[in-house]
Amino acid sequence: MKQNVKWTKLFAILMLVFSVLTGPLEAFAQDVSSASDVEELVSSSVNSASTNDATENSSSEAEEEAALPQAQAVNVNGTPKVLHNAVKSAIVWDYNNAREASKDANGNYVLREGSLFGFEMEFDLADYDYNLNNGDYFEYEIPAPLTVQEGRFALIDRPTGISVGVAEVTSNGDGQGGSVHISMQNLEKYLEAKKADAAYGVKGSFFVQFRSDTIKTPITVRLKEKGVGAGVDIVLKVDPRGPASDNGPYLQGENFNKYWGVMIEALGNLLP
């Protein structure tokens, strides 16, 4: 009997110990399960935050791109305007000898009476980079007592063969001078050919022919913008010995080129 009581007490103690031990184990298992749930929750939160960040970044980038100025074709058909300060320098060209006219010791041009000469006028439109339209123009006056030869000719861009401007020379009569009017044209065709969206770096030269038969004494000729006092001053003197002979047929091609030749060195997307 005492033996049975002993075993009963021992069994009760074992059950108590077992219940104490199993409680923390279950709690630990629950804690582990809870930690797993927390990990999944944290992972889900991180993924959600990453998705939101990606969406916000994408939206921000789209807004930034929208805010950036977009390259657009320039409208070259705006209201025509006067191009000021276009001509930078000029020389006198001797057509008989296909070269710049002779000068004396003081740097003044010496012309033979009755010969055909021309002003080679260098222009540069850098002040109007990215702001050139068809119809934009500049006009220069050639004073008396020169006799200006009338004419009309195109300004050809050599690489594309496109006429990017036109020059009209008007005479005021014998010994009365004249004027030259240069206007831009066909810029949209030029830009298309060059795959450019704006014209810049425009410069070149053109010729205005005159005769020296009305120059009797040394004179200072001022080539100036119409309506403006300042300009390019050139001193001309005349040698009364008569016109010099041409240097031969081999110069005829050069003479022809210089009659109306216009050199466009750069236009639009900087010529290669």
**Token pair of 269, please?**
């997307």
Residue 209 CA to residue 177 CA, distance in Å, equals: 11
Q: Which residue has the tokens 């009755």?
A: 114
The pLDDT tens digits for 141-163 are: 999 889 999 999 998 887 888 88
Q: Global pTM?
A: 0.61
The pLDDT tens digits for 201-223 are: 888 889 999 987 777 778 888 88
Longest dimension (CA), the chain: 165
Residue 132 CA to residue 102 CA, distance in Å, equals: 37
Task: Write down the pLDDT at residue 272.
Answer: 31
Whether the upstream peptide bond of residue 145 has omega within 30° of 0, thus cis, is yes
Q: Mean per-residue pLDDT for 178-189? A: 94
The pLDDT tens digits for 85-134 are: 999 899 999 988 889 999 988 888 988 887 889 999 998 999 999 999 99
Q: List the beta bridge partners of residue 138.
A: 182
Task: Write down the pLDDT at residue 240.
Answer: 67
Is 50 exceeded by the pLDDT of residue 58?
A: yes
Q: List the beta bridge partners of residue 165.
A: 155, 184
Q: Give the phi and the psi of residue 249 in degrees, each rounded to 5.
A: -60, -30
Out of 29-33, 131-135, 161-165, 199-203, least confident range: 29-33
Is 80 exceeded by the pLDDT of residue 71?
A: no
Task: Write down the pLDDT at residue 231.
Answer: 81
Q: Which domains does the chain have, with CATH numbers?
A: 87-239 (2.60.40)
Task: Write down the pLDDT at residue 82.
Answer: 94
Is 50 exceeded by the pLDDT of residue 46?
A: no
Residue 72 CA to residue 75 CA, distance in Å, equals: 9
Q: Does residue 136 contact residue 80 with C-beta atoms inside 8 Å?
A: yes
Residue 120 CA to residue 258 CA, distance in Å, equals: 9
Q: How confident is the model at residue 70 (pLDDT cuts 50, 70, 90)?
A: very low
Residue 227 CA to residue 236 CA, distance in Å, equals: 23
Is 90 exceeded by the pLDDT of residue 183?
A: yes
Write out the H or E segment, with its range, that includes residue 91: strand 87-94
Q: Mean per-residue pLDDT for 236-241? A: 75
Residue 109 CA to residue 93 CA, distance in Å, equals: 10
Residue 42 CA to residue 48 CA, distance in Å, equals: 10
Out of 2-11, 173-182, 255-264, least confident range: 255-264
CA 246-146-221 angle, to 5 degrees, is 105
Q: Mean per-residue pLDDT for 18-28? A: 46
Q: How confident is the model at residue 14 (pLDDT cuts 50, 70, 90)?
A: low
Residue 83 CA to residue 75 CA, distance in Å, equals: 17
DSSP for 95-159, please give it. Answer: TTTTEEPPB-TTS-EEEETT-EEEEEEEEE-GGGTT---TT-EEEEEE-TT-EEPPEEEEEEETT
Q: Which residue has the tokens 């969206």?
A: 197
Out of 70-84, 132-146, 157-171, 233-247, least confident range: 233-247
